Homo-oligomer: A and B are copies of this chain.
Amino acid sequence: MLIYKDRRANTARRSLCYDTFTYLWTKKTNLQMKSLASDNYAGAVPEVMHALQRENEAHATAYGNDTTTAHLKQLLQSLTNRQFHLHLAFNGTGANVLALSTLVKPYQAILCAETAHIYVDESTAPETLSGCRLIPLPINDAGKLDPATIRRAVKRRGDLHHPQITVLSITQPTEYGTLYTLAELQAIRQVAKENDLLLHIDGSRLFTALTALGCELKDIVEASGVDALSLGGTKSGMLYGEAVLIFNEAVHDSAFYHKRSMQLASKSRFIAAQFLALLHENTYKKYAEIVLQRTQRLAEVLKKYPSVTITKPVEVNAIFAKFPADWIRPLQETLLFYVWDESNHEVRLMCSFDTSEEEIDLFDRKLAELSR
C-alpha cells in the first residue's frame, strides 16, 4: 500500500518516493516522532479520550437511539438555529458519500472542484453509492470555486441524454488550506439558488475553519444555505467519527441511506460522546487556535528563507511551499511531510493540534543549516 501521494507524479517516480518515505518513517518511528505529514497522523485530544472513558461506564441503546446522541443533536440544533437529520458516520469519505446520496437520484450529476476530496481521494465510492456522475470544475488560484465557474457548468438541464446537474459540493476549508469567506459562501448560495442546485459542504476540517474565520457554525449554515453538511471530527482531535447534518426539508428518508452507506455504528454513542467533548466549553476552539498559531509560526519561519516560496494563502493548518530540490530529503528526515508536486518541488506541511514549538524550532534550525 502506498503512503506517498503525489497527485501529479507518474508511477515510476512515485514508487521511488514511496520507498524513501517508508524508510524515513521506519527509522524515526521508535522516537515517537511527530510529523508535518497529515493531521490524521495525530491521535485524539485528551478531552476526547476522557469522554470515551466516561461513556464506557454504562450500557446504552445501539444505533444512535441513546441519550448521548440525543444530547448532541440538541446541542447542534442550538448551535445552528436549525432543524436537521443527524447521522453520525465513521470517516470523512463515508460522511460525504452518505450526505450526497440522500440528495440525488441516479440519473443526476454532482459538481465539485477538480481537487475535491470526493473527486480525488474517495475511490469510486461517491459514484457507487449515489449512482451519479461527479463533474470536476477548475478552481481559482486560492483553490476555491468561483460562482462564474459554477454557473457555466450548469448545462443541458432537461436533456435526458445528459446526467442532470443537481448538486454542488464545496470543501471548507479547501484542499489548499484556504477558506471561503462568509461573503463568498453567500455568493455560492446565490448561484446555487439561481441554478436550482442543492449544496453540500465537505467540512472535514470545519472546526478549524470556524476558528480561523472567527465565526460560529450557524454563520456558515446561514450564509451558505447548505442542504447537507459533513462535519468532521477525526481531523479535529477525535479518534474517529464525523457527523452528517441533513438540513434540506424535502429529505425525509436519510436514515435509510445512513444504514445503506455502512456508516451506522452499533456503538454510535461513542462518536456522539467525542463530539460533545469537542463542543463542550469550546474545546475545539482551544485546539484550533493552537494549530492555527503553530501554522502561522511555521509560515513565519519559512518566510525567513529566500530560497523557500510559500505558494498558496496560509489560512488554516496547511502550508504549501517550494523548497530547493536537495533540501527536501534532509527536511523530511527532520520532520516528515508529503511532496505535493514532484515536478516543481512543491510540498505540503500540515500542522496538528499537537505540533509543538520545539518541532518548529527544529525545522527552523535545519532550514538555517541548509541555507548556509
Chain A contact residues, CB within 8 Å of chain B: 1-3, 5-11, 14-15, 22, 25, 29, 32-35, 37-38, 40-44, 49, 52-53, 55-65, 67, 90-94, 97, 101, 105-109, 120-125, 127-129, 131-134, 136, 151, 154-164, 234-235, 239-240, 253, 255-267, 270, 352, 354
Contacts and interface: CB of A to CB of B under 8 A. Distances in A.
B261 A125 contact: yes
Given A161-B123, A255-B1, A262-B261, A134 B133 contact: yes
A282 to B, nearest CB: 22
A297 to B, nearest CB: 19
| Copies of this chain present | 4
A5 B63 CA distance: 12
B60 A41 contact: yes
Grouping DSSP codes into helix (H, G, I), strand (E, B) and loop, the A interface class, with mixed when no group exceeds half, is loop
A39 B198 CA distance: 37
A87 to B, nearest CB: 10
A64 to B, nearest CB: 7
B34 A161 contact: no
Contacts of A107: 123-124, 253, 256-257, 259-260
A59 B44 contact: no
A238 to B, nearest CB: 9
The 8 lowest CB-CB distance pairs between A and B, nearest first, are A40-B266, A43-B56, A107-B256, A32-B58, A90-B90, A123-B260, A94-B262, A41-B59
Contacts of A270: 43, 239-240
23 contacts: A2-B159, A2-B160, A11-B158, A33-B59, A43-B58, A43-B267, A59-B354, A90-B240, A93-B264, A105-B253, A106-B131, A120-B156, A120-B162, A121-B161, A124-B133, A124-B260, A125-B261, A127-B131, A129-B262, A160-B264, A234-B267, A240-B240, A262-B263
A157 B260 contact: no
A340 to B, nearest CB: 13
B267 A40 contact: yes
A160 B53 CA distance: 29
B162 A121 contact: yes
B260 A128 contact: yes
Nearest to A158: B2
Nearest to A38: B62
A157 B14 contact: yes
A46 to B, nearest CB: 9
Given A49-B53, A52-B52, A262-B263, A160 B256 contact: yes
A93 B163 CA distance: 14
A10 B154 contact: yes
A255 B1 CA distance: 8
Contacts of A64: 1
A354 to B, nearest CB: 8
A41 B266 CA distance: 8
Given A3-B63, A93-B262, A125-B259, 6 more contacts: A32-B59, A105-B256, A123-B259, A127-B133, A234-B267, A262-B263
A280 to B, nearest CB: 19
Contact of A262 (B65, B159, B234, B262): B262
Nearest to A90: B90
